[in-house]
Amino acid sequence: MTSRSTSFLLIAAVFFFVPQAFPVPIHCAKAVTPNEKTICSDPTLIQADARMDTLYNISLHFVAMGTRGDLQDQQPVWISEREACGTSKPCIRAAYKKRTAVFEAIMKRVATFGPF
């Protein structure tokens, strides 16, 4: 088994067998804000939300405790920034791209050097 396959299996195991940390992805049936409703009306934005949430929750399990706390503290701030986009889809897409890049960098580091 290659190290890439091993990394994928480890990440999948963590995601499926460990409870998710706050926050959870947007529940479109309960969307309240104009921002949430805009996200729910666009399949690419829903997918971006799910992807970001998945990477966020996986990343929390592969970083040291201080970094984990920082990521958790930053998430509500990021949600406020995303909400500030209102109904602007380009702004919302950019917010997801920026936040997802943080988690992608963590996963790349984990794949290269291992956790912590």
Q: Give pLDDT tens digits for 83-103.
A: 999 999 999 999 999 999 999
Q: Would you state the structure tokens that stand for residue 4, as one six-digit string? A: 């890439």
Q: Give pLDDT tens digits for 37-91.
A: 999 999 999 999 999 999 999 999 999 999 999 999 999 999 999 999 999 999 9
> What separation in angstroms does the CA of 38 have from each of 35, 60, 92?
5, 27, 9
Domain chopping of the chain, boundaries: 3-113
Chain Cα centroid distance, residue 34: 21
pTM: 0.77
Q: Could you report how far apart the first and last alpha carbons of the chain are, in Å?
A: 23
